[in-house]
């Protein structure tokens, strides 16, 4: 009857679950969007989300995870700020039988430490960015400066690797400077200022590769202040596809970005619901798409669309 139907519907959802989320912080526009999408997804599904902001510090994440274990949450989401150093605390979650889902960044060590990971293929992202530049440079000499993400984080390691793989077969494209900008606008601008000074005021730089759009947006400002035209004098390619990079594209100041969805929580909660319902074990990795955007893709239209999606 109806009552039974209601019970069935209830058992097939995550309603009533308590989930702890150890978020890295709010270093980028993408990160802020991921946080709001995760909260929306939890609310929509009737999940009680315990949110902890680690302010970029792994020790804060470890403390938060221990707190979630002590509270006896049903599952833990964690976006690991760096790749190493998770064995002990995730081992504790495992001993407590609490499934852990990694969001957007990977970790070193045994895959037994987590149930699944929802993330992009970060090597591929770097490759897509690099292949765009290989095409754009069309055989001409091109010195690239690189703004890396947070040191020791999986996206910084993998996006560097993928880009290097894409340009490896060319002799015209070279990375001449590479430094971390910690995934933030402010650091991206500051480090770019240093690159410009060191490279003849910028005239020895053909392109900027930034591991995220926020650093690119900061660097675009530095390029303008140095009296050069971003997008023309210095090509700009980055990753995330946040609204502001589409504005920059519409203004001719950015050339390409690789999209990263901020909705990592949707697939994560789907996997958790299925697991709680009948023990379905998800694949070890749920991989999100990596799509290239250029100014040919109606940047202002994309900007407007993106604005409603947690940004």
Q: Which is nearer to ligand GYE, 99 or 262 (CB)?
A: 262
Q: Return the residue of 14, 19, 22, 27 that touches ligand GYE, per CB under 6 A.
A: 27
How near is the Cβ of 99 to ligand GYE at its closest, in Å? 21
Q: Exposure of 175 by Cβ count < 10 A (0-12 exposed, 13-18 middle, 19+ buried)?
A: middle
Site for ligand GYE in 251-270 (CB under 6 A): 260
Of 9, 7, 5, 17, which Cα lies nearest the Cα of 271? 17
Q: Which is nearer to ligand GYE, 189 or 276 (CB)?
A: 189
How near is the Cβ of 104 to ligand GYE at its closest, in Å? 4
Site for ligand GYE in 161-220 (CB under 6 A): 183, 212, 214
Site for ligand GYE in 101-160 (CB under 6 A): 104-105, 155
DSSP 234: B
DSSP 311: -
Q: Which is nearer to ligand GYE, 240 or 253 (CB)?
A: 240
3-state secondary structure of 82: coil
DSSP 85: S
Q: How many CA atoms lie within 13 A of 156 on its CB side?
A: 20
Q: How many residues does the chain have?
A: 311
How near is the Cβ of 279 to ligand GYE at its closest, in Å? 30
How near is the Cβ of 85 to ligand GYE at its closest, in Å? 16
How near is the Cβ of 165 to ligand GYE at its closest, in Å? 18
Q: How many CA atoms lie within 13 A of 45 on its CB side?
A: 25
Q: Which is nearer to ligand GYE, 211 or 276 (CB)?
A: 211
Angle between helix 29-45 and helix 265-278 axes, rounded to 10 deg: 30
How near is the Cβ of 27 to ligand GYE at its closest, in Å? 5
Q: Return the residue of 31, 127, 187, 235 that touches ligand GYE, per CB under 6 A.
A: 31
Among positive and negative, which fits the CA dihedral 186, 181, 302, 269?
negative
Q: Which is nearer to ligand GYE, 120 or 255 (CB)?
A: 120
How near is the Cβ of 264 to ligand GYE at its closest, in Å? 9
By the 8 A CB rule, do 282 and 275 touch? yes
How near is the Cβ of 231 to ligand GYE at its closest, in Å? 20
By the 8 A CB rule, do 23 and 35 touch? yes
Q: Which is nearer to ligand GYE, 14 or 27 (CB)?
A: 27
Among positive and negative, which fits the CA dihedral 220, 311, 237, 186?
positive
Total chain residues near ligand GYE (CB under 6 A): 13
Q: Which is nearer to ligand GYE, 41 or 238 (CB)?
A: 238
Does 22 help bind ligand GYE (rule: CB under 6 A)? no
The Cα 294–Cα 281 span in angstroms is 38
User: Which stretches of 27-160 are assigned E, i.e. beta strand?
Assistant: 48-53, 75-78, 100-103, 116-120, 142-148
* Footprint of ligand GYE (CB under 6 A): 27-28, 30-31, 104-105, 155, 183, 212, 214, 239-240, 260
């Amino acid at each position: 009857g109806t009552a039974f139907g209601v019970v069935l519907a209830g058992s097939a959802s995550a309603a009533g679950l308590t989930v702890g989320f150890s978020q890295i912080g709010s270093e980028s526009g993408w990160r802020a969007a991921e946080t709001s999408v995760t909260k929306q997804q939890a609310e929509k599904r009737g999940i009680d989300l315990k949110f902890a902001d680690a302010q970029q510090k792994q020790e804060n994440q470890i403390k938060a995870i221990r707190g979630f274990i002590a509270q006896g949450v049903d599952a833990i989401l964690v976006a690991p700020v760096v790749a190493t150093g998770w064995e002990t605390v995730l081992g504790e979650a495992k001993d407590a039988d609490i499934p852990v889902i990694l969001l957007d960044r990977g970790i070193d060590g045994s895959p037994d430490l987590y149930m699944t990971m929802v993330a992009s293929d970060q090597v591929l992202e770097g490759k897509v960015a690099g292949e765009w530049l290989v095409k754009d440079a069309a055989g001409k000499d091109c010195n690239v400066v690189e703004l890396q993400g947070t040191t020791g984080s999986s996206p910084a390691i993998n996006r560097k690797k993928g880009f290097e793989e894409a340009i490896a077969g060319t002799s015209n494209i070279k990375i001449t400077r590479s430094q971390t900008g910690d995934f933030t606008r402010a650091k991206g601008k500051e480090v770019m200022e240093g690159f410009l000074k060191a490279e003849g005021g910028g005239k020895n730089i053909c392109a900027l590769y930034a591991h995220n759009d926020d650093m690119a947006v900061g660097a675009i400002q530095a390029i303008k202040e140095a009296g050069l035209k971003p997008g023309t004098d210095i090509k700009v390619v980055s990753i995330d596809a946040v609204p502001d990079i589409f504005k920059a594209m519409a203004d001719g100041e950015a050339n390409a970005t690789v999209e990263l969805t901020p909705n990592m929580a949707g697939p994560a909660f789907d996997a958790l619901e299925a697991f709680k319902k009948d023990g379905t074990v998800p694949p070890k990795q749920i991989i999100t798409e990596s799509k290239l955007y250029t100014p040919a893709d109606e940047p202002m239209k994309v900007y407007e669309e993106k604005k409603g999606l947690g940004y």
